Amino acid sequence: MEVSVIRSSSSQAKICKTELAYRDLRFCFGKNNDKNKILSRKPNSVCFESQITRLRKTGLRFTVKAVHSEPILESKSSTRSKSLDRVRLFVGLPLDAVSECNTVNHTRAIAAGLKALKLLGVEGVELPVWWGVVENLAMGKYDWSGYLTVAEMVEKAGLKLHVSLCFHASRQPKIPLPKWVLQIGESQSSIFFTDRSGQHYQECLSLAVDDLTVLNGKTPIQVYQDFCENFKSAFSTFIGSTITGISMGLGPDGELRYPSHHKAAKSGTITGVGEFQCYDINMLNLLKQHAEVNGNPLWGLGGPHDVPTYDQSPNSNCFFKDHGGSWESPYGDFFLSWYSSQLISRGNRLLSLASSIFHDSAVNVYGKVPLMHSWYKTRAHPSELTAGFYNTASRDGYEAVAEMFARNSCKIILPGMDLSDEHQPHDSLSSPELLFAQIRTACRKHGVEVSGQNLASGAPGGFEQIKKNMLGENMMDLFTFQRMGAHFFSPEHFPSFTEFVRSLSQPELHSDDLPAKEEEATESVRMSSDSDIHMQAA
């Protein structure tokens, strides 16, 4: 019954209205529940159950109530609860939670951290599992011991685990690709993405070699597949119970994109447009074939010649110019279509691999899509183009991406939920919020669920923005907060994080302010006993 109510309604929920309805509801139910009993069941945990759960339950209850008497309330409640799902909050574990030699770094700190998070009401933690740690020494030789230890700790702490399979490298902390892969790369640098000036990006393999037998007679895809299968068997006791989600690494930083920026931008400055990464031999081969098939062999000799360099602005060369830029020419369309389709195919290869491996487990499979928000307000969207998303003022590049995710029944993780337009550098033409909205729209259209992440760097006003994104019209089912570490627990940060977690359950506080409204102003934290009641009733 509950489900049907939720799914059937289509209008948007506004939380304030919900509260209203909810209060009325409480009158109906408040007194005749045996609270003592309920309370004795959960005497000891702070419940930061998000309001979504409650509201959904409210919805349920409202239907009951409607039966009693008030049709108006019913309509209210159903509009309320329709889009609300439960937001589960995860926190990322340190990137180097497991060291290169497979020991757990700062075990005690992580143990204390897990306990704190559990008490705070966080649902689970995210654990990056590195290719370069597990399969470091030789192909097919896996060592999961460090990660298994962490998984046990998490399970013991009563938290859920979201595993990110990382087939890329990290610069800081330094976690390179497996040694044996790097050795191959030394003699065969074409396995890496390469830019126009011939510089290699050594932090992940080029998508062009996905199906080439460059790794000791195996293709990278086969190696990734072996890795995933081995992971599945090693963690079989956790998958579906403690492990509820798996992110498939799709490229640089795990994201589905080209490494269009080899270095991270300096904060506070305007990011340049980046560069196309189609200059390794294999990419060039693919491009050449594609051009020949299209009857324009001359277009297959290289990428566009009139593009700016990494840190330049779009207008410093012709390709991305707002008006009359080559991106709008037939050649531009040819190149960009090919470049972006290569990326989507790579995503498809990896996600179909993952979903075929994990489809019989009770876990969700995720993939991360970047938020290339710089220059979004120009017509060409150059940052997105160089990263491989053919999304311009005249073309929606995320439809195909969302469709690909839908095809593989995977969910999208969007990082950068803490970014707001307001805090973008002065005069920059970036718009994280608009881009975010566009991707969400595409996802909604294809029924792809979106979960959020913040950038680990802590954007100004980040918490507010995250909250806005999470509780806005488009609810998210999961949010992963990056990332546990010294800063995370520092006196400068942790209290605001606590505040943030508590504020996610703000509506719950409101629901409790019958009969004494003063409470919300004076009490710092409060769990509502009502939520317990509802939980039990539901």
Partner 1 sequence: MATVAVDSLLQNPTLSFRPKAKLLLKPSRSLNCSRNRKLLFSRGACFCGFKPRWKIHVVKASSIDTALIDTFDASSSDDVLYKESFTVKRIEKVAGKIFIRLDQSKDQRNWQLTVGCSLPGKWILHWGVSYVGDTGSEWDQPPKDMRPPGSIAIRDYAIETPLKKLCEGDMVHEVKIDFNPSSAIAAIHFALKDEETGDWYQHRGRDFKVALVDYLEDDGNMVGAKRGFFGIWPGVAVQFFNMLFKAEASHANSQSSSSESKDSKNENRQLQRFYEEQPIVKEVSIGNLVSVAVRKSPDTTKNVLYLETDIPGDVVVHWGVCRDDAKAWEIPAAPYPPETAVFKNKALRTLLQPKDTGNRSRALFTLDEELVGFLFVLKLDDNTWLKFKGNDFYIPLSGASSVPGQHGESDTASEEISSKAYTDGIINGIRNLVSDLTSEKSQKTKIKEAQGSILQEIEKLAAEAYSIFRSSIPTFSEEAVLETKAPEPAVKISPGTGTGFEILCQGFNWESHKSGRRYMELKEKASEISSLGFTVIWLPPPTESVSPEGYMPKDLYNLNSRYGTVDELKELVKSLHEAGLKVLGDVVLNHRCAQFRNQNGVWNIFGGRLNWDDRAVVADDPHFQGRGNKSSGDNFHAAPNIDHSQEFVRKDLKEWLYWLREEIGYDGWRLDFVRGFWGGYVKDYLDASEPYFAVGEYWDSLSYTYGEMDHNQDAHRQRIIDWINATNGTAGAFDVTTKGILHSALERCEYWRLSDQKGKPPGVVGWWPSRAVTFIENHDTGSTQGHWRFPGGKEMQGYAYILTHPGTPAVFYDHIFSHYRSEIAALISLRNRNGVHCRSTVKIVKAERNVYAAIVDERVAMKIGPGYYEPPSGPERWSSVLEGRDYKVWEAS
Q: Which stretch binds partner 1 (CB under 8 A): 201-209, 230-238, 385-393, 488-496?
A: 488-496
Select 31 or 68, whichever has its Cβ closest to partner 1.
31
Residue with tokens 């798996």: 246
Residue 397 sits in the site that holds partner 1 (CB under 8 A): no
> Could you tell me the smallest distance in angstroms from the CB atom of residue 123 to partner 1?
16
Select 7 or 263, whichever has its Cβ closest to partner 1.
263
List CB contacts of 162: < 8 A, sequence separation 6 or more: 90, 124, 125, 126, 127, 243, 244, 245, 246, 247, 366, 478, 480
Residue with tokens 């923005």: 465
Residue with tokens 């691999």: 353
Residues numbered 1 to 30 that lie near partner 1 (CB under 8 A) are none
Residues numbered 93 to 152 that lie near partner 1 (CB under 8 A) are 94-96, 105-106, 108-110, 112-113, 115-116, 119-120
The Cα–Cα gap between 419 and 514 comes to 36
> Could you tell me the smallest distance in angstroms from the CB atom of residue 431 to partner 1?
16
> Could you tell me the smallest distance in angstroms from the CB atom of residue 486 to partner 1?
4
Residues numbered 42 to 101 that lie near partner 1 (CB under 8 A) are 43-46, 94-96
Residue among 115, 110, 293, 317 nearest 196 (CA): 317
Select 150 or 363, whichever has its Cβ closest to partner 1.
150
The Cα–Cα gap between 450 and 444 comes to 9
Residue 158 sits in the site that holds partner 1 (CB under 8 A): no
Distance of CA 328 to the CA centre of its chain: 31
The Cα–Cα gap between 416 and 451 comes to 11
Select 102 or 498, whichever has its Cβ closest to partner 1.
498
Residues numbered 165 to 204 that lie near partner 1 (CB under 8 A) are 171-173
Residues numbered 296 to 315 that lie near partner 1 (CB under 8 A) are 308-309, 311-312
> Could you tell me the smallest distance in angstroms from the CB atom of residue 132 to partner 1?
16
Residue 537 sits in the site that holds partner 1 (CB under 8 A): no
For residue 483, whether the previous peptide bond is cis, meaning omega lies within 30 degrees of 0, is: yes
Question: In angstroms, what CA-CA distances link 197 with 132, 302, 446?
Answer: 27, 12, 39
Residue 235 sits in the site that holds partner 1 (CB under 8 A): no
Residue 262 sits in the site that holds partner 1 (CB under 8 A): yes
> Could you tell me the smallest distance in angstroms from the CB atom of residue 356 to partner 1?
33
Q: Are 346 and 210 in contact (CB under 8 A)?
A: yes
The Cα–Cα gap between 282 and 269 comes to 34
Residue 457 sits in the site that holds partner 1 (CB under 8 A): yes
Select 329 or 428, whichever has its Cβ closest to partner 1.
428
The Cα–Cα gap between 90 and 522 comes to 29
Residues numbered 423 to 452 that lie near partner 1 (CB under 8 A) are 423, 425-427
> Could you tell me the smallest distance in angstroms from the CB atom of residue 120 to partner 1?
6
